[in-house]
Chain A
C-alpha cells in the first residue's frame, strides 16, 4: 500500500517535471548547453574519475586494479609528501605577506598623483602576463651561484656569494621572492580597484579632524580594503598551494627536496612514476588542505567594517 503511494508520488513528480519542460522556453536549454557540456566533460568527469582513482592502482597502460584505502594509507606514512606540504607552507609563509605588503604599497603609490603612472601600472603588470617558464628560466640565471648577476653584484660589493638555489635552507624563499615578483602585478590591480572605491569624503573629513596621512592609511584605507585583502589572501593561498612551474623548471624539487612542492610531487607520481591512483590521492589531499586553510582565513579576516 505504502509502496504504491510512493510510486504514485514519483510518477506525479515526473509528470510535473515533464509538463514544466514542455511548457518552458527551449532556447534557454540551448543557451546553457555549451556550459553544461563543458562542465560535464572538463570538470565533472575528471573529478569523478580522479575520485575513483583514489581507490585504485593504475599505471595508464595496465588495467585498473581496486586498491581499497592503500593509497590513503601510503599518503599518511609518506615522509616525502609531508616534506612537500612543509615546503609549500614555508613558501606561503613568505610569499603571501610579501605579496600583500608590496602590492598594497605599490598600489597606494600608483593611486597617487605620480608621473608616468600608466607606464608604471603597465610595467608592474607585465611579469604577470609573461610565460611562467620564461620568467623562471631568466631568474634561474640571475640566481646562479657561480655565474648569476645577483652574486656578481654582491661580490662587487665585497659580500660573499649567496647560494640562492643550491642551499636547502634558502632555495624555497628564493622561489617565493621570484613568484612574488611574477604575480604582484595582478594583486596591484586588485588593490588599485579597491583604493578607487574608497570615498574621497572620508579622507577630507579625516583631514579636517587633523588626521595625518599615516593615520588616514591605518584608519581608513586599510579597513576599507579588507574585502580586497581577503580576496588577495585567498587567491594567493590557492595560487601558492598550486606552486609547480617554478620548482619544476628551476630546481626539480632540490636541493635536498627543499623545493619539492605538493603539486610537483603529484606530477612526479602521475607522469614520471605512473602512479595515477596515488597522484589522485595527493590531489584530493591538496584540495582538502586548500579548503581548510581558506575557510580559516575567511573566518579570521572577513570582518564587517564600521563605515
Chain B
C-alpha cells in the first residue's frame, strides 16, 4: 500500500517535472512579438509590408506585427491618446519632432541613447549635427533621425513657358509677383479667373502654415525658426513681416484664388506652382496627364536675399516607446529598417530622402539618383533645411500665426506688421502657460 502511494507520488513528481520542463522549453522557443506602426499612406505601407515580411522570415525569434497608424486627423493625436491609454506600439515610424516634448513629458518614449550601440549606429548613418538637433534638453535621445522631406517650389514647365515666364524669375518676391500678374487670367471667357501662378491655402488649420508662412519664413530669415534656443518667441522680425506682406499682396491683388478649388489644380494646369516635398514625385508621375512636365526650384525669398535658400525640412523620425516590453528587440528591428539596403528600398518606394551621410556619392545609391535626377535636387536642398522647434505649445503657436495670417493676408483686416506683432504676443501668452 505504502509502496503504491510512493510510486504514485513519484509518478506525479515526474509528470510535474515534465510539464514544467516542456513549458520552459515552449517559453524559450516562443518568439517575441513587436508591434510596428508605420504611417498609413499607401507607399509607406507597401515599404512596411516588404521589410516586415523580410524581417519575420529571417528572425523567427523576434516577430514583427505591422499595423498602420490608426486613422485620425493627425498622427500626434493618435500617439498622445495611445500614450495616455498605455496602448502604444513598440515602434512607430512617423514621429513628428514638433510633438516630441509632449510624448516625453508623458513618459511615452524610451531613452534610445541607453540602447546598446546606439551612438555607433546613428553616427555611422546620419550626420552628427542631425543627431544633435534631435537630442532632448535632458541629454537623452528619444527619437532616431530617419528621413526629411525638404519642401521646394514645383512648377508646370509648359504653363510658364507659354506665358513667357522664366522659372528663375520666381526666385525672388518681385519676380514672383510679376509672374503672378501675367498668369492670373480667365482662359475660358466665363468671366471668372481660372488660372493662377500659385494657390496658398486659405484653410486656417495650424499645419497648413508649414507649407506657406513657415516655409517662406525659414527661407526669408535665412534659417530661423519660431523660437530661439532658450525657447522664447523669435519670429517678431522683418522677415516675418516681409512674408506676410508678400502673401497679402497676392491676395489683395487677386493674384491667387481665395477659396477651395476642386481636385488637384497643379496637375489640372490651373495652378502653375505649388510648394511641396519630394513625396509628390511618384504621385505626379502616376497621375499627371500626357505632356505634363514639372520641375523644382527653391522657394521664393525677399529681393536682395543673400546666401543659400533654407527651407522647411518636414522631418519624421522613428521611436521606440517606453511601454515596450522588448526595447532591445525593437532596437534590432529599427536598425534593420534604417539599414542601407532598406534606406534604398525606402527611397525607391516613397521618394523621401533618408538622413544618410553622403547619400548621393554612395555607390549603392548612385544608380537611383542617376535614374531620378529630380531627387538629387531635394538631396542638395536637404543640406539647407530646418525642422520645427521643440515645444509642447507648438501647435497652439502655429494656430495663433494661422489666425493672423487669415486676418491679415487673406482678409486684409490688419497690416502685416500688426499681424506679426499680435501673433508674437499670443505666442508669448501661450508659452507663459495660461
Contact = CB atoms under 8 A, between A and B. Distances in A.
Chains A and B are bound partners: yes
Interface of A: 59-62, 70, 74, 140-141, 143-148, 151-152, 155-156, 161, 163, 165-166, 168, 251-257, 268, 271-274
A61 B190 contact: no
Given A60-B80, A146-B257, A272-B396, A168 B411 contact: yes
A61 B262 contact: no
B395 A272 contact: yes
Contacts, number: 100
A70 to B, nearest CB: 6
Interface residues on B, range: 35 or more
A146 B411 contact: no
B190 A254 contact: no
Nearest to A253: B204
Nearest to B191: A155
B192 interface: yes
Interface in B378-434: 392-393, 395-396, 399, 403, 406-407, 410-411, 413, 434
Contacts of A257: 403, 406-407
Contacts of B73: 271
Given A62-B106, A166-B259, A257-B403, A155 B413 contact: no
Nearest to A151: B192
Which of A161, A271, A274: most chain B Cβ within 10 A? A274
Contacts of A271: 73, 77
A272 B399 contact: yes
B106 A61 contact: yes
A59 B403 contact: no
B69 interface: no
Contact of A61 (B105, B191, B259, B395): B105
Contacts of A148: 259
Contacts of A62: 105-106
B12 interface: no
B258 A163 contact: yes
B80 A274 contact: yes
Interface in B247-261: 257-261
A256 B262 contact: no
B255 to A, nearest CB: 12
A145 B77 CA distance: 32
A60 B84 contact: yes
Contacts of A254: 202-204, 406, 410
A145 B258 contact: yes
A282 B376 CA distance: 50
Contacts of A61: 80, 83-84, 102-103, 105-108
Nearest to A259: B204
Contact of B262 (A141, A255, A273): A141
B258 A273 contact: no
